[in-house]
A and B are shown apart, each in its own frame.
Chain A
Amino acid sequence: MSIDVEQFHGVFFDESEEHLQAMEDLLMTIDVDAPDIEELNSIFRAAHSIKGGSGIFGFDRLTGLTHIMETLLDKARNQSIELDTAIVDLFLETVDILKATLTAYREQQPLPEAEIAAGIAQLEATLSAFDNAPKADSVQNQDAIEEDDGFGFFDDLPEPDSTSETVEASADTDDLFGDLAFGAEAQSAERAAPQATTEEEDGFGFFDDIVTPDVNNSPQSDEAFGFFEELPEPPKTPVASVTPIQTAAKKPATTNNSSAARESGSIRVDTAKIDGMVNLVGELVITQSMLSMIGRDIEGQSGEMLQAAIDELQRNTREIQESVMSMRMLPVNMTFNRFPRVVRDLSQKLGKQVKLVIEGGATEIDKSLIEKLVDPLTHLVRNSIDHGIESPQTRAEAGKPESGTVILSAQQKGSSIIISISDDGAGLNRERIMDKAVQNGLPVSLDMPDSDVWQLIFQPGFSTAAEVTDVSGRGVGMDVVRRNIESIGGRIEIESNLGKGSSFSIHLPLTLAIVDGMCVTVGEQIFVMPLLNIIESFQPKPEQIQTIGNDNVLWIRDEYWPLVPLHQMMQVDDAIAEPTESIIVLLESGKNRFGVQVDALMGQQQVVIKSLEKHYKKVAGVAGATIMGDGKVALIIDVDSMAQSCQLTIKHEVCA
């Protein structure tokens, strides 16, 4: 009968992550003096859910911790203990440990045993501080029962073949029915045949079938059964209709995320399926532009009707494309939502007062970016709090409000998303950065523009923090941040005002799979350059071309630019060699600017990027390929890597 239970692990991990996030969100906003019972119930249920699932799927390091947390939470919601900040902090720490344990299980890494043990010890200490010997027993009871078979029946089990009718007829029914006073039920379960007793230890158990078929109306039910005080709203149970317990109606945060999602009509979809769709839509775009090209050759009325139909097709395809791309988009809040906690913990730790403002959290970004932004953003936020925001005293002396503000914002601008972290702290210190740069042997000049100076902090080993705090001063951070951002196709810009504050903005492309490009020809080949990277293009005059050693360079806009003859780099024959007969396209990527020599411009087009990496090794300068309307394959230029590989030291040699 063995089914593969592992296939459900992923769902359990996702679910539990959501529960943990919900718990954290609730714990962050809970009012310690007057906690909302519904919120406590939600936190309890979340812990309970994780506990249940962890036991079933065998992740027992989660079980122990959630069990005690649940016990404490239960007491909190029953008001047998009073909450205070220390307990809430302890809960938050427990959530952290659970998150770490969950990740360890998910990635099959060693479990944080020490932290788990410490967490359990702390929770137990808090529990015993409230002096609850009986509860401690129930914990032990729990363990005792769990060792056994795990079920029980409240009365003699009916014959396997019949249903409850047999039970009704059995003499025991009446006896037990008579014993159905509230407190006697537990005893009667034990008093039943020995079979029931052993069954209790089996992990399940059966009661007697208490409700006789005639008994249908509520008054009788009420007498026989009693109330459940722990329910948030005691359900009124008239026979046929039941009032749902909807105390959480106005607080979406208290229902667990997946059922809230279901109420709003969404479903979970495997990302592989969406990626498959994106691919197919890409194919559709290509096929449609092929049709378009062929259609242009057809004359007459048929030709016109065909064109009209193809235009219609193009519109539909574009809509499908946008729709599919938007399926992969998620609100950036999914990345932002952890930061209130980060800010709270860090500012407490460093003795600073910081207010976090989140703007534009509903802005959507591609799902793949959500995860990848976490590390860089975390580092930047920590940076702001650690090095940016001054201590309350310093701020007061400078005439600033004691509480500093960090603004985390996201907005869409054209085909980019801009995510920025701004603070009203001390700002970057130009002199200190220049000094450090000189110390590290980096090329600087006294009249470097500020924007260039700020970019220096991305160099490896660069930290001007006077003391290395364990938070962010290790000097390995910013270069990794920039690399992370660049690996997702983005770039990072810095603005800063000494004494006033700094702002770090991350510019990301809106979509990754489709690019607006300029098609160019080199010999018989077609290349596509992303419009985002193009500054301008022109046919150069002789005086704009100069020679340094074996290479040509451009003299444009009063400076030297490296010149990359594309036909050379891509080894294309039959291309125009003479620069003055060709077209120069000026490209930029991050801080790199250079010119590319091509034969001619073909025109702008939106192309679908097809990755070559499955079949070919990665080549510098090539981002992927696409199929043009006429079926020809065009390579898409990766401006970043081209810039890196084409000897940009030329520029430095020239300009130095």
Chain B
Amino acid sequence: MSKNILVVDDSVSIRQMVEATLKAAQFNVTLAEDGQDALDKCSRGQFDFVLTDQNMPRMDGLSLIKALRGKAQFSKTPIVVLTTESSDDMKQKGKAAGATGWMVKPFSPDVLLNVLKRVLG
């Protein structure tokens, strides 16, 4: 059964590219343009994996993660936060917010699929 992935990023081009990559790998993809939009999508469905950018208008990635962890159905969902700063500071914050892991941006489609494989099998 295909897994459902939620992709959250304020950049149209990145959303499109990730969507195409994931669909080609037989995943179901839902897109959101910022944290708020993602929360709306989450209130209407369940996801097997959430990939979120950090810097977004309205609600950023860390806030989204914190919000999701507060919801019963998303408390264990694998959430990976994208970060262009792989400083420890950012990682700390990601962990503190409840992210399952992090991924450095820019990433190649291969890394993305690799991460998904490691988490979802």
Contacts and interface: CB of A to CB of B under 8 A. Distances in A.
Listed residue (A49, A150, A213) with the most chain B CB atoms within 10 angstroms of its CB: A150
B51 to A, nearest CB: 10
A142 B75 CA distance: 30
A161 B14 contact: no
A240 B95 CA distance: 21
Interface in A474-504: none
A130 interface: no
B21 A3 contact: yes
A210 B63 contact: no
B55 A138 contact: no
Interface in A88-147: 138, 141-142, 145-146
**Size class of the contact patch on chain A:** 35 or more
A165 B76 CA distance: 8
Contacts of B95: 154, 180, 185, 189, 207, 210
A565 B62 CA distance: 77
B91 interface: yes
A34 interface: no
A209 B17 contact: no
B92 A225 contact: no
B49 to A, nearest CB: 10
B100 A242 contact: no
A244 interface: yes
Nearest to A153: B101
A56 B118 contact: no
Contact of B111 (A183, A203, A225, A231): A203
A153 B100 contact: yes
A189 B91 contact: yes
A57 B103 CA distance: 16
A204 B104 contact: yes
B66 A235 contact: yes
B72 A216 contact: yes
A25 to B, nearest CB: 16
Contact of B66 (A57, A182, A221, A255): A221
Interface stretch (A7-15, A351-359, A595-603, A639-647): A7-15
A196 to B, nearest CB: 10
Nearest to A5: B17
B97 interface: yes
Contacts of A245: 57-60, 63
A56 B82 CA distance: 12
B78 A163 contact: yes
B115 to A, nearest CB: 5
Contacts of B111: 149-151, 202-204
A160 B121 contact: yes
B6 interface: no
Contacts of B17: 3, 5, 8, 56-57
Interface string A46-69: 001101111111000001000000
A52 B16 contact: no
A207 B67 CA distance: 17
Interface of B: 10-14, 16-17, 20-21, 24-25, 33-36, 39, 53, 55-60, 62-63, 66-67, 69-72, 75-78, 80, 82, 84-88, 91-111, 113-115, 117-121
